[in-house]
Chains A and B, each alone.
Chain A
Amino acid sequence: MRRNEDARLLTGRALFVDDVQVEGMLHVAFLRSQHAHACLRTVDVAAARRRPGVVAVYTAADLGDYWRPGPLLVPPPPIAGLVFNACTQLPLARDKVRHVGEPIAMVVAESRYLAEDALDDVMVDAEPLAAVVDVEAALAPGAPLVHDHLPSNVAAHVVQRKGDYGRARAGAHATIRRRFRYDRGASAAIENRAVAAQWDPRAEELTVWDTTQAPIPIRNGLASLLGLLESQVRVIAPFVGGGFGPKIMMFYPEELLVPWAALRLGRPVKWTEDRQENFYATTQERGQVHDAELAIARDGKILGVRDVFLHDTGAYDPYGLTVPINSQCTLLGPYDVPTYESEFTAVFTNKTIVTPVRGAGRQHGVFVMERLLDFAAAELGIDRAEIRRRNLLRPEQFPHNHEIIFQDSAPLVYDSGDYAPALDEALRIIGYERFVRDEQPRLRAAGRHVGIGVVCYVEGTGIGPYEGARVTVEPSGRVRVATGVGTQGQGHFTAFAQIVAEVLGVDVERVHVITGDTREFHWGTGTFASRGAVVAGSACHAAALAVRERILDVASRHLEAAKQDLELADGHVRVRGAPDSAVSLGELALKANPLRGAVRPGTEPGLEATAYFGPARGSTANGVHAAIVEVDPETALVEVRRYVVVHDSGRVINPLLVDGQIQGGVAHGIGNAFYEQLVYDENGQLLNASFMDYLLPTATDVPPVETAHRETPSPLNPLGVKGVGEAGAIPTGAAFAQAVEDALSDYGVEITEIPLSPNRLFELITQAGRGGAGGRPKR
C-alpha cells in the first residue's frame, strides 16, 4: 500500500509553512529573555526601529488591548478536591520574564537576516531574580515565586483514590518503595514551528498558514481575538513536518502576533522558528519525581499502589492537567490493581512550558509501575515475566472500570483487551526462555554483559470530543474527503482514503483527502492523543456510509433495481449478477446534480454527505515491549541488540502505517531513555539548546524493531480501531532500564531514573562497585 501523499513529499513539491512566499512578505525575529526569572524594567526599541530594513518593532506596550494572557486550553477534569491555578502564557512579556526564551519584543523587517541584525539594537534592562528550577525546592517555604499573585508555586494538586490502600498495605507480604525520576525532553520535530499570515483587503479575509496540529481551534480563537468573523479567517496547516504534541492549539505568542502584525501592517508577515528558539519557545515535557510504593502478596499479586509525585509544569500551565493525569491513570497499566492512591502536585518553575509530547506523561506512569514490579519480582524470587502475567487483567474483566477520572474527564474505563496472549507472543518472539536459560549464561561466562527487559503498558487513545468529515463523489468519479484534523506524517491521507474507498468500492488512489484547511472543513478539534484514525477515521467512515446510501438511492432509480440487489465495486454500481448494468460513480454524481428539470421535493443535490463522530470515551490500546541490550561496563555504553513490540490497537486499517508509528515511537522512546535530556542549570539556563548537545538518536543508535499485531476490536467505534501514535514511545524507558539492570546484575546496579546517559550509568556502576574505577562485579 503506497501512501497518497508521498509523491509530493519525495519530489520536494509538498508545501510546508516556511515554503509560503508572497510578494512583499515581511519577516519576523523575536528578542527573547536571556534570564530565567527577572523583572523587566525597560525595553528600549528606538534604535532597532531606526535600522534600515526594519518595518516595525513591538513590545508588550505596543499591543494595547491585544495584550492579554492566552486561553486556558484544557480546563481540569471534575475531580473532587482538585486545586488548579490557571496561569497562561503572555504574548510578549511585560513586567516580568518567567523563562529563558520568553519573547520580549518582536522585530518585523524586510528579511530575517535584517530582523536578526535589529535584535542587537534592542536594549533590555532586566533585574534578575532567583530562579525556581528544582520542583522540590520550588515548594520549600520562602522559595521565590514564579507568579507573584499566588501564595506558592503550586499549579495544581490532585488526589485520586480507588479502594483502601492503607488496608491493602496492612495485609501485604511485602511493600516495595522507591523514588523515581523522569526528566525533561524536547519534542524535536525536524520542522520547527512557523506562522505566515496575509490579509486580503479586497476579500476581507485573513489567511494564516500555521504548523499546527489543530487548525480549526486556532481559526476560531484568532477570529475572536482579532474581532473577525470565523469565516473571514482561513487557517491552513499544510504539510507539517512532525508534531509530536507541541504543535497542538497552543496559541503560542508567535501564533497570535504574526496574524496581528499582518493586519496592522497590511503586508504579509512570516515567522519561522529557528532551532535555537525551538529549544526555548516550543513546549516541552517530562519532569516528574515519584515516591511510589507497591503492596504485594506472597504470590506476586498486586494489592495496591500508592504514588505521590511532583510534576514540573514550567512557567505557565495553559494545557491544564493532561500530562500529570495521564501519568496518574496510565500507571495502573494492564494490571488488576485493587487499591490505588495517587496524589500529585504540579509545580510552576522558571522553565519552558510543559504540554504533551508523544506519550504525554504516560511513560512516567508506566516507568514507575514496571520498575516496582521488577523490584517486587526480585524480592519475591518470581520471574519478571511471570509476575506480570499473574497480574494482567483477564478478558472477562472488560470493560474494566478503574474508578478514577481520566484526562478526557470521563471515568477511566478500559473498553476491551486480551492481555496475556500479547505477553506470551512477545516472550516467544524475543526467545525469552531460551535467552534466560542458555544464551545469557553462556555470554556471561564469556565476559559479556547482556540483559533482557520485558514490560507491559496500556495507552488511553482516541478521546473525544468529536471530529467530522465530508465525503463527495465528483463527476470524474474521484472522491474527495475533507476533514478538520491536521496531519503531521501519520498517513491520514492514505488511512482515511482507505476507509472511504472500502465503503464506496473505489480504488484508494481515487480518493483525495484534504486535511487541515478550515475553508474545506471547519468543525473539529485536532490531532492529538492518538486520536486521528479513531475519531476522524470513524467520521470518514460514517460520511462514506451516508454517501453510499445516496449512491444506492440514485443508482436504484437509474438502474430500476432494488437497493439490496446493487453492489459497489471498481468505482461502479451494478446489479448483482448483471455485469453489463454497471454505471460509474461519476455518472451517478452527474445525475444527482441535475442542471435542468424538476427534482423530487426534499432532494439534496450531489453524492455528498457530512458526518460526525464522538466516542463516549477513549479506547485503550495495549502492548508489550521486550528488549535485549549489551552493556560495556568499562565504557558504560549500551547497545540495543533486539527490540520487539507486540501491540494491540484494535482493528488495523493499514499495518504499514501502524508499524511506522511504532518504529518511530520506539526511536523516540530510546532517545528519551538514553540520549535526550534537557539539562537546566540551577539558574534555569538550558545548557543544551542545540542539536550539538541535545542528542536525537540517529540511524546507528536505533535498532530494527520487530513488530507483531494483535487485534482486539474496540466496541466504542464502528471501525473497532484504537490509536497507535504514542505506543512506541511509552514503555521504552522501562524496558531499557530493566534490560540494562539485568545486564549489570552482577554489579547490583539499580536504575530508578530516565534518561540514563553513559555518564550517569558510569556513576551508578562506580557507586554499586564501591571503589575501583568503573566498579567491579560483586560476584
Chain B
Amino acid sequence: MKPAAFEYHRPDTLDEALALLAARAGEAKPLAGGQSLIPAMNFRLARPGVLVDLNRLAELAYVRPAEGGLRIGAMTRQRVVERSSAVQGAAPLLAEALPFVAHPQIRNRGTVGGSLAHADPAAELPAVMVALAARFEARSRSGSRTIPAAEFFTGLFGTALAPDELLVEIALPPLPARSATAFLEVARRHGDYALVGVAAVVTLDERGRCREARITLLSVGGGPVLAAEAARVLAGQTPSEDVVRAAAEAAATRDADPPSDIHASAGYRRHLAAVLTRRALVRAFERAGHVA
C-alpha cells in the first residue's frame, strides 16, 4: 500500500496555486489535508499525475467573524474550527458536527475546504453547510465566483468546481432570530462514516410557529440531501409531536433515496433517517425555545 509516483508542487501563494491548476487543468489534483486523498493513493485507487499541495497557503487558513456570520478559509484545519469560540458562538451546528468527523488525528490535518471539495456523500461538513445556507467562494485564474452550498454539491463526489478552480472561502450567514440547530448521526463506531446523519436548522416566528426548517441528511443519496418535503410539512406549523413525526416521515420517504451497503440496507437507512430527523427536529425546536 504505497502510493504511485506523481509530480509534486507546493506553491507558497494562492496565485501560484491557481496558475499551476490552470496550466495543468484536468491533470493536477489539489492536495488539502489529504486525509481522504492519501488513503486512496495508498490503495492506488487514486493516481493523480500531478499534486498541487495547498498546505503552504497560510492565507487560506482563518476563521473570521463577518456580517454577523463567519468567514472560514478553505485551508483551515477542522480541529481549529472545532475549537474556535467564534464558531461555537455563530455556528453551533458546525461545532456540534465536527466531533463526528473521524478522529482528532484526522481533524488536526483535515481541512474544511478539503472535505467540502471532496464531497463524500457520507461526510458531515457538506450537509452542515447546506443546512446553514453557506456560500462558497471559488477562485480561478480568471476570477472568482460565489456558489450557494446547495448548488455546489452536484451528486456523488461531484461539485460545481471547474478543474482549474479552488474553493477558497466558506461564508456562513448569521442565523436568523429565533433559530436553533441540531446535528445527529448514527455510525457503527465513533468516528466512522455515518450510516445516516441529520443537520437541522429551524427558525420560529413570533408566535412559535415554524417559519423555516432547513434539514439536510447525509449518507442517504449522492450528496447532502436538502429535505424540501420535510420543510414543507413544517412550514407555518406549530411544532407538535405529530408535525415533527410527519416531517421526519417525509424526509425519509420522499426526500431520501438511500443506498445499500454492507453496513446498512436502504431500508434501515430510510428508517434511521426518519428516527434521526425526528430527534434532531425535537432537539432543535427545544433549543429554539419551543417546548412541545
Asked if residues B263 and A774 are in contact (CB atoms below 8 Å), the reply is: no
Contact A637 B186 (CB under 8 A): yes
A693 at the interface (CB under 8 A from B): yes
- Check B189–A112 contact: CB distance below 8 A: no
Q: B64 near A: Cβ within 8 Å?
A: no
CB <8 Å contact, B189 and A759: no
- Are A759 and B263 within 8 A (Cβ)? yes
Shortest CB-to-CB span from B40 to chain A, Å, is 11
Bound CA–CA A637/B193 (angstroms): 15
- Provide the B254-277 mask, 1 if CB < 8 A to any CB of A, else 0: 000000001111001011101110
Chain A residues, Cβ within 8 Å of B232: none
Asked whether B207 is an interface residue with its Cβ less than 8 Å from the other chain, the reply is no
User: With an 8 A cutoff between CB atoms, is B66 at the interface?
Assistant: no
Query: Quick check: which of A136-144, A491-499, A695-703 contacts chain B, the rest being far away?
Result: A695-703
How many interface contacts (CB-CB < 8 Å) are there between A and B? 62
* A634 within 8 A of partner (CB): yes
A226 within 8 A of B: no
A448 to chain B, nearest CB (A): 16
Please, how many angstroms separate the alpha-carbon atoms of A401 and B248 in the complex?
61
Interface check A276, CB cutoff 8 A: yes
Q: Is the Cβ of A762 less than 8 Å from the Cβ of B1?
A: no
- A9 on the B face (CB < 8 A): no
A635-B272, A698-B190 known; A116-B263 Cβ under 8 A: no
Question: Do the beta carbons of A679 and B262 come within 8 Å of each other?
Answer: yes
Q: Is B5 located at the chain interface by the 8 A CB criterion? A: yes
**Can you spell out 22 A-B residue pairs with CB atoms less than 8 angstroms apart?**
A112-B2, A113-B5, A116-B4, A275-B1, A276-B1, A634-B275, A636-B268, A637-B186, A675-B188, A693-B262, A695-B188, A695-B192, A757-B188, A757-B263, A758-B195, A758-B268, A759-B263, A759-B264, A759-B268, A762-B268, A773-B271, A774-B275
* The 9 A-B residue pairs with the shortest CB-CB distance in the complex, in nearest-first order: A274-B1, A700-B190, A113-B2, A773-B271, A679-B262, A634-B275, A762-B268, A759-B268, A759-B264
- Bound form: Cα–Cα A113–B6 in Å: 12
CB < 8 Å neighbour of A675 from B3, B189, B276: B189
A117 interface residue (CB < 8 Å to B): yes
Residue B44 at the chain A interface, CB threshold 8 Å: yes
Query: Is B157 an interface position by the 8 A CB rule?
Result: no
Q: Quick one: which of B174-201 are within 8 Å of A by CB?
A: 186, 188-193, 195
Are B264 and A695 in contact, with the CB atoms below 8 A?
A: no
Q: Determine whether B43 belongs to the interface, using a CB cutoff of 8 Å to chain A.
A: yes
Q: Chain B contacts of A634 at CB under 8 A?
A: 275
Contacts of A584 in B (CB 8 A): none
Task: Return chain A residues, CB-CB under 8 Å to B191.
Answer: 698
- The smallest C-beta distance from B250 to any residue of chain A, in angstroms, reads 14
Q: Which residues of B contact A693 (CB under 8 A)?
A: 262-263
Q: Which of B1-41 contact A (CB under 8 A)?
A: 1-5
| Residues 515-568 (chain A) with a chain B CB within 8 angstroms | none
Q: Does A687 contact B (CB under 8 A)?
A: yes
CA distance A763 to B275 in the complex (A): 16
Nearest A residue (CB) for B103: A698
Q: How far is the CA of A688 from the CA of B188 in the complex (A)?
A: 14
Q: Is the CB of B274 within 8 A of A698?
A: no
Chain A residues near B43 (CB, 8 Å)? 276, 690
How far is the CB of A761 from the nearest CB of chain B, in Å?
Answer: 10
Q: Which of A728-779 contact B (CB under 8 A)?
A: 757-759, 762-763, 773-774
Could you say which residues of chain B place their CB within 8 Å of the CB of A116? 1-2, 4, 44
CB interface residues, A 248-286, toward B, < 8 Å: 274-276
Q: A276-B43, A679-B262 are in contact. Are A762 and B271 (CB under 8 A)?
A: yes
A696 vs chain B, min Cβ distance (A): 9
Residues of B contacting A692 with CB < 8 Å? 192-193
- Contact partner of B265 (CB less than 8 A), chosen from A274, A635, A679, A759, is A759
With a CB–CB cut-off of 8 A, which chain B residues contact A773?
Answer: 270-271, 274
Chain B nearest CB, measured from A281 CB (Å): 13
**Assuming A688-B262, A758-B188, A759-B268, what are 13 further A-B pairs, CB within 8 angstroms?**
A113-B2, A113-B5, A116-B2, A117-B5, A275-B1, A276-B43, A635-B272, A701-B189, A701-B190, A759-B265, A763-B265, A773-B270, A774-B275
- Please, which residue of chain A has its CB at the minimum distance from the CB of B193? A692
Whether A695 contacts B44 by the Cβ 8 Å rule is no
Q: For B195, what are the chain A residues with a Cβ–Cβ distance below 8 Å?
A: 758
- Point out the residues of chain A lying under 8 angstroms from B276, CB to CB: 635
The answer for the CA separation of A759 and B276 in the assembled complex, in Å, is 15
Q: CA separation between A66 and B264, bound complex, in Å?
A: 47
Q: How far is the CA of A695 from the CA of B263 in the complex (A)?
A: 10
Q: Most chain-B Cβ atoms within 10 A of its Cβ — which of A274, A635, A690, A701?
A: A635
Could you tell me the distance in whole angstroms from the C-beta of A408 to the nearest C-beta in chain B?
A: 38
Closest to B260 in A: A759
How many angstroms from the CA of A411 to the CA of B79 in the assembled complex? Answer: 60
Q: Specify the chain A residue showing the minimal Cβ separation from B270.
A: A773
Query: Which residue of the partner chain B has the closest CB to A699?
Result: B190
Residues of B within 8 A of A276 (CB): 1, 43
A116→B1 CA distance, assembly (Å): 8
A774 touching B262 in the complex, CB below 8 Å, given contacts A635-B186, A697-B189, A701-B189: no
Query: Chain B residues with Cβ under 8 A from A759's Cβ?
Result: 263-265, 268
By a CB distance below 8 angstroms, the chain A residues around B274 are 773
CA–CA, A408 and B65, complex, Å: 71
Bound-state CA distance A692–B268 (Å) is: 20
Q: Which residues of B contact A635 (CB under 8 A)?
A: 186, 272, 275-276
Chain A hits for B268, CB < 8 A? 636, 758-759, 762-763
Residues of B within 8 A of A675 (CB): 188-189
Instruction: Return B109 CB to nearest CB of chain A, in Å.
Output: 17
Partner of A774, one of B44, B188, B264, B271: B271
Residues of B within 8 A of A698 (CB): 189-191
List of B residues within 8 angstroms of A679 by Cβ: 262
Cα(A235)–Cα(B61), bound, Å: 52
A695–B195 alpha-carbon span in the complex (Å)? 14
Q: Which has the most chain B C-beta neighbours within 10 Å: A634, A637, A690?
A: A634
